[in-house]
Structure 1
């Protein structure tokens, strides 16, 4: 391009900035009127104009380029009363306007569908977290539309996850975090990406953010099917006590207490401590003796008008027995019942300690800096028996998986709103660091959870993940916005084999571009197109094929490429619809291997499908929701007819009715349905589907809540998790491959009483 051709472009660039210089700016903050906590993701709209904004983590918003004149701004946040205020803009001046929102009725009519800030909006999760009762820690993950979970080791083990045609195992293809700390465990003793969320106390969850697909720059490892980010409360509205009691010797106590005065809270300083204890023998013939202890304390301080400090410490411990997976032939022959056991010596013990320190600062020029350091100490021991006497006809096939882990990490980000070539824009930079160190990660054959007959694997793991990203959002027009980002991750893997005394190391990096386009041709209509690359890392140990360390990093980071074409639409004020057609290609698939009870990598795979979501407010207090998910998952490198992906869901649906009032009777009736799906590659073995309905009713008053929850109100006999596994009993001459399963809960009723201390 010649100098003469550049002059008009330079003239337009400086002209746009000159025009902006003679316009005014509206800025301010949005707060919770009761707790004085800054409100994130509140929507600010200037009436009669194209101007809008979304508040950040400090509740701050800024709208530039406004002509001089008189205006009215309205602020909306679901579940809070909207507030409107008049203001005046003067040339080249900044007008400050703060908003304080009180708790109000939930009105879907106030949900705003728009293009300028679509990349940061979480429309579905904002609705669901306000409406759905959280009955237990498992319900947390079900906040993601289309996500199913299954428990197959007695409640203490991480759930098996299903999403978008994936049997994700315990987290291989979904990135899960809590308060900025990673939940997924790399190179875990039981499975890659193992994500145990049981350290979260359900009553303390404030919001659940998520996105399906690999389209978010801030999310790195395991972000293929999508990501989920849980945020717990920074402060309590008020202290409370809760007790629960139910069938099958089920008991739970929970308490949360504010530690500082209301005066301190009004000044921006708060602290609380909370804890829970759970016990249950569960519905299996062999008592589970499950117990869990959780504790957390959080401290928040507004250091000055621009800086917030957040510190937290938590401790989690769980121990349980379990009946393990059983096979169809044992139940059919009458050897055991549907809730029986073949080897009831399974079970485990796990614990986790978390420390986190986060500093969020708004700079004088409007930029936002976030710095977080965290540490986790984690212990895990699990005893399983998948094949009974297939491998060892004398002692049986019980195995022990054990590890001791330390995690060190840092998350840093800088975000600045401004203009790019005269267009409103937001730029973000970020860096992440994570170091995992395990001591004597073990896989052994055992007898009666006490005697080791053979050590199969024993070693120390040292895995480092360094990540960096840049993300640019540009509001091209009031109805059109573009987000483009680039992420780079570098891994360093080391493994010290304590059985062979061999040492191995490998390293690899991966570049992940992502593009997101949002267009609103009409009011309350939003079209979007997402495209991006993600990945999941493979296990550091030489335990699979291909071997990560042994092959010097050749297949450490198999990529995934995805795209979504979607529509968000509000045809009427109280109805929200979302439909998305999507496609995802993976370089490397993970398949469950029944005879070893592990997962291992295989070949390439492709998934495509359609997601449908509806949220409808039938009346002031009655809400309906439904999610439908249709998927076609296939292995690419296999012959047709033998290319099914075992246990991958092909059709799922969830939904229900919720009746919600601030006082008096509240309740919900919910269902979940999973269709039949292939249990092996040629679909000769079928994992049977199920339809389960749950109910909850609460009586709410200012100082207390009395609730009754019922799982499986129809008392359906169903299989919560299923696998096509080859196994042999001690008296069987030949092994048999068939469905092995863990029974799902029968009718299970539980009473709860919550008492608020003021």
Structure 2
């Protein structure tokens, strides 16, 4: 009875505490062209209370008459105003070259995105896949002719093509579940880099709104709502490379904006057998302020690419002179892929403190890939070429309700979300083929229907210098698989749910130092074919992680971050899409340290450094046999960038990955590399002239590597050794663009 009375008293106290309100003021933050600025930081200097503007630029904060309010955002001048008798204010921010000066270390769960935001403003992007490199410590590698999704490395994970990182664009998921090639396959080639406005990221399983695949972290891209200028851009480079970009305004008023963007890319690559790679991207976006409370966005995009590939080559073929570094054992590899997307988003401002966001998306995706990893190991006569293909439709909706509150002792916000996603993959196929034409054997064929329902709740409570961020997420999956290789109709189904709690704590020691402790649980789902074969057992492996770190701004022009982290991943079973088999993968432990630094000694000069060290091991294996193949243990990237008011700009960048174990006992080594890139240019009136050089010192480096057992046509016995795709040699291209 006493316990019950105590619970009632505590509930009454909390309700009374939160209901005691203050007088509040509201406003809107815009740029010089009256475009809304989201995530601007608003601080009441007298009380210390703070908030951020929402996606429509609106804010609300507790204040008294004569209080001083400070508003700032990265890349804009800081603004101030005094509270008078008005209750609503409009603040217009002017752009500013100096970035780091304007940063304030404040309670904000994803404050680390400051580092990627600086990257987007000062670092050049050579391709859509380069966008992932905005995330400190994230490395990518291409190993199939430019058209296949990149291999991703982060925090001691060989993530393959996306198994352990959640990727989205404008609220639409990019990861593809139960994909023909690999679980979580994330192909970002449908993004036109010039349309990207910002990148949000988080490392570790700590973000409640991110569910499936968010074990190592997440990356969210947002495209521009409007264009500042029309642009025509042309790039011409070595290896018969051409790229054309066009971006044009259709509507450009205070309440409506619309634009179209297009991209063509073609290249033969540096390989002895030309890649014959082509890619076409088309995109249109509309943004309308339908009413004072309603903002609507619509995005339509189309993407298509096709290519030939030289594939991974065995080290012995290069050593004995059988092929050159850019040669091939089987140059009939390659593929075709396309994606059509529709994204609709509506943001409704219920009142000054509450809002509702709804995102609907649809995607039609086609995939065809030819590969040969083992050459003549399994079929000495015809070779081991495989064909993977599927046609997929994705339907989804996400609804999020968010409410801000401002009380005497505590302020913050909470949100509730509910989401539904359905993937229908038809004719998901793996075949043994010859010269892309003849099907020798069907290894796997079926239809997949996978549905994910999710609900989540998240809150931020600010108590003076403290921020408490609890969260809870529930995901429920329904897996269905219809096997197309059986004579009788067999449609197997399984269900599974997983609960993911989170708790993040931040403490602002001073106005230039933030300490944080993050903890949470997340997961990646397994392939539907694993689920039905395992009868639903051990098919939602969970990841448990924690980060202890700080963000520090010791001087106005320098900001740095250090984090110590730990991640444990449960036992799972993996569907190997290249072989149509299920293999067990044991429990793993990863731990490490991240360090990032951004320095701007002058308004026109920026320096960045990211260093990442990791120890990754299988938990239940003997010492010396517990290495996790291809897990990076040490990486760093660094760069210096000049953006001068005279119009001159340029930069020198370096990325390094250490040599690492390619198999479990470290007897085969994947060689490390250090590569330098350079760019320079000049902006004159409406024109922009530039050049970019990848691998400026023409280093021989292996972009992707695997310990693979293979057999060449003339060999009697198979050999296990490193198979690799060579990295880009010295590659020069010229760039010219015109803005109007």
Indicate the TM-score class for this superposition, using the shorter chain for normalisation.
over 0.9
- Counterpart of 1:252 in structure 2 is 243
Matched, 1:280 2:271: no
Instruction: Say if 1:159 and 1:589 are closer, same or farther in 2 by CA, change over 3 A.
Output: farther
Gaps in structure 1 of 5+ consecutive residues: 542-546
| C-alpha contact 2:650 2:681 (8 A) present in aligned 1 | yes
- Counterpart of 1:25 in structure 2 is 24
Matched, 1:521 2:512: no
| C-alpha contact 2:99 2:118 (8 A) present in aligned 1 | no
Which of 559, 567, 578 lines up with 1:584 in the alignment?
Answer: 567
In structure 2, C-alpha distance between the alignment counterparts of 1:512 and 1:7, rounded to whole Å:
28
In structure 2, C-alpha distance between the alignment counterparts of 1:4 and 1:487, rounded to whole Å:
30
In structure 2, C-alpha distance between the alignment counterparts of 1:38 and 1:334, rounded to whole Å:
61
In structure 2, C-alpha distance between the alignment counterparts of 1:455 and 1:361, rounded to whole Å:
51
In structure 2, C-alpha distance between the alignment counterparts of 1:148 and 1:630, rounded to whole Å:
13
Instruction: Say if 1:681 and 1:421 are closer, same or farther in 2 by CA, change over 3 A.
Output: farther
Matched, 1:540 2:528: yes
Divergent runs of 4+, >4 A: 1-19, 419-422, 589-601
In structure 1, C-alpha distance between the alignment counterparts of 2:133 and 2:8, rounded to whole Å:
56
Which of 79, 85, 90 lines up with 2:81 in the alignment?
Answer: 85
- Counterpart of 1:69 in structure 2 is 65
- Counterpart of 1:45 in structure 2 is 43
| C-alpha contact 1:191 1:599 (8 A) present in aligned 2 | no
Instruction: Say if 1:4 and 1:644 are closer, same or farther in 2 by CA, change over 3 A.
Output: closer
In structure 1, C-alpha distance between the alignment counterparts of 2:326 and 2:224, rounded to whole Å:
38
In structure 2, C-alpha distance between the alignment counterparts of 1:497 and 1:594, rounded to whole Å:
15
Matched, 1:485 2:471: yes
Which of 531, 540, 547 lines up with 2:519 in the alignment?
Answer: 531
1:90-489 equivalences in 2 (<5 Å): 95-115=87-107, 117-119=108-110, 122-260=113-251, 262=252, 265-266=253-254, 268-419=255-406, 423-477=410-464, 479-489=465-475
- Counterpart of 1:641 in structure 2 is 624
Q: CA deviation at 1:103?
A: 2.0
Instruction: Say if 1:11 and 1:492 are closer, same or farther in 2 by CA, change over 3 A.
Output: closer
Instruction: Say if 1:659 and 1:601 are closer, same or farther in 2 by CA, change over 3 A.
Output: farther
| C-alpha contact 1:420 1:474 (8 A) present in aligned 2 | no
Instruction: Say if 1:121 and 1:368 are closer, same or farther in 2 by CA, change over 3 A.
Output: farther
Structure 1 stretch displaced more, 386-395 or 6-15 = 6-15
| C-alpha contact 2:182 2:576 (8 A) present in aligned 1 | no
Instruction: Say if 1:72 and 1:328 are closer, same or farther in 2 by CA, change over 3 A.
Output: same
RMSD of the alignment, in Å? 2.0
Matched, 1:564 2:547: yes
| C-alpha contact 2:75 2:102 (8 A) present in aligned 1 | no
Matched, 1:740 2:726: no
Instruction: Say if 1:405 and 1:126 are closer, same or farther in 2 by CA, change over 3 A.
Output: same
Which of 711, 721, 730 lines up with 2:704 in the alignment?
Answer: 721
| C-alpha contact 2:374 2:711 (8 A) present in aligned 1 | yes
Q: CA deviation at 1:161?
A: 0.2
Matched, 1:630 2:613: yes
| C-alpha contact 1:413 1:428 (8 A) present in aligned 2 | yes
In structure 1, C-alpha distance between the alignment counterparts of 2:463 and 2:521, rounded to whole Å:
24
| C-alpha contact 2:76 2:102 (8 A) present in aligned 1 | no
Partner SS for 2:460: strand
| C-alpha contact 1:407 1:435 (8 A) present in aligned 2 | yes
Matched, 1:704 2:687: yes
Q: CA deviation at 1:503?
A: 2.0
Q: CA deviation at 1:551?
A: 2.5
Instruction: Say if 1:292 and 1:15 are closer, same or farther in 2 by CA, change over 3 A.
Output: closer
1:602-613 equivalences in 2 (<5 Å): 602-613=585-596
Instruction: Say if 1:57 and 1:442 are closer, same or farther in 2 by CA, change over 3 A.
Output: same
Instruction: Say if 1:616 and 1:590 are closer, same or farther in 2 by CA, change over 3 A.
Output: farther
Partner SS for 2:119: helix
Aligned length: 737
In structure 2, C-alpha distance between the alignment counterparts of 1:210 and 1:687, rounded to whole Å:
28
In structure 2, C-alpha distance between the alignment counterparts of 1:224 and 1:420, rounded to whole Å:
35
Partner SS for 2:351: coil
Instruction: Say if 1:548 and 1:46 are closer, same or farther in 2 by CA, change over 3 A.
Output: same
In structure 2, C-alpha distance between the alignment counterparts of 1:88 and 1:8, rounded to whole Å:
39
Gaps in structure 2 of 5+ consecutive residues: none
In structure 1, C-alpha distance between the alignment counterparts of 2:479 and 2:109, rounded to whole Å:
37
In structure 2, C-alpha distance between the alignment counterparts of 1:595 and 1:405, rounded to whole Å:
19
Instruction: Say if 1:505 and 1:595 are closer, same or farther in 2 by CA, change over 3 A.
Output: closer
Instruction: Say if 1:591 and 1:622 are closer, same or farther in 2 by CA, change over 3 A.
Output: farther
Instruction: Say if 1:389 and 1:14 are closer, same or farther in 2 by CA, change over 3 A.
Output: closer
In structure 2, C-alpha distance between the alignment counterparts of 1:627 and 1:8, rounded to whole Å:
50
Partner SS for 2:728: coil
CA-to-aligned-CA distance 1:727-755 (integer Å, 9 cap, x gap): 00111000000000000000000111110
- Counterpart of 1:544 in structure 2 is none
Partner SS for 2:733: strand
